[in-house]
Amino acid sequence: MSNTTRRALLGAGLLLGAGTLSGCGGPPDSICLEGDQPVESGARLSLPSLGAETHLRKEPQLGLLGLAVSPDGARVAAHEWWHRQALSESETAGTTIWDTATEEIVARFDDTMTGAIVWHPHEDLIATAGELAIHLARPDGEVLWTLGGHEESDSRRSRVIRDLAFSPDGDQLASLSTDGTIRLWSLAGGTCATQPVLRVSYGTPMALAYSRDGSQIAVAVQGRGAEHWDARTGERATALEGCSQDAVGIAADDQGRFVLGIAEEARLQPASPDSGCGRDVESGIPVPEYLAVGPDGRLAVSGGESEVLEIWSAGLAGHERIDLPKSVPDIGAPGELGRTAWAPDGTLYAVTRWWGVIKWDGQEWSPLEIP
């Protein structure tokens, strides 16, 4: 493979329909770079000075956006934030991987990734996001591709890659940033090629999900509701009718629908590309931004700096509320819940602010090794 092929910008200026962006007047083009490559357009952000009295000196901290379980359920991955490295309490900042059988850390990488994480559905590959770059890597740390194009933060606005998702067949990766774009990459056959850049009409994109058959991509947009596109062509589909406007979370359920997390009045709302949004149900999670569907169709709901988790039965027929422990000797309180992820056997993993990764076995919470 030539260097030209390896680093080609294959999607520049491509306009396949409403919702895509051309190279003229739009954001930066998407890129695929082989190996671990820098994508920053300017100087790296400097780490702030942390005073001696900050609580970060006493507690570990993981990012709440990133959590993924391998398809076989043997490993779980999350991101250790840069705070502990800046305080000389850790030699690494970035992706951390645990063995779920021993509950011990088996790998730590100094890759500075702090955003979303997703495991490939069929291969032993993991996609991790930082502020600008996305790494497609093996779990041993070998970076196969560096993906880029999302805009960086500036003095007026903070931007973050909030979500990543593989298509069900694993041939496409989608990334979502608060810069207002959804970027697509084709990964079929071990190659990497850029695809259309999608743009939300207005509002802040918060989460994305593929339909169960992989034909559509739907996005929860705060201030807009839900938008969806044809995953193959990038064409914007007909708007979902009847959806609440303050959508902050989304997942594809086992009934061919999407479920939206609505921050306004804390609701969950089913949405079908064919019939639009249905009647919503009340949730006890103040900002239901993290939704995860399990192998049996159950839906885990968390977010909004809450220390409570809800698990809903398939079809949103009913739910149970699960509280985190208030405090445990020697390790203190877990802090708020972030993203959750299901293992194939139905074990639920979650990332918390201070305990790191924890698991729910149906009876009680227990922490994995704390970084």
HEC per residue, the chain: CCHHHHCCCCCCCCCCCCCECCCCCCCCCCEEEECCCCCCCCCCCCCCCCCCCCHHHCCCCEEEEEEEECCCCCEEEEEECCHHHHCCCCCCCEEEEEECCCCEEEEECCCCCCCCEEECCCCCCEEEECCCCEEEECCCCCEEEEEECCCCCCCCCCCCEEEEEECCCCCEEEEEECCCEEEEEECHHHCCEEEEEEECCCCEEEEEEECCCCCEEEEEEECCEEEEEECCCCCECCCCCCCCCEEEEEEECCCCCEEEEECCCCEEEEEECCCEECCCEECCCCCCCEEEECCCCCEEEECCCCCEEEEECHHHCCEEEEECCCCECCCECCCCEEEEEECCCCCEEEEECCCEEEEECCCCEEECCCC
Ranges of residues in the chain with a pLDDT under 70 are 1-27, 40-61, 83, 85, 89, 153-158
pLDDT at 154: 66
* pTM listed for this prediction: 0.86
| Domains within the chain, CATH numbers bracketed | 13-36+60-199 (2.130.10.10)
pLDDT at 59: 47
pLDDT at 201: 86
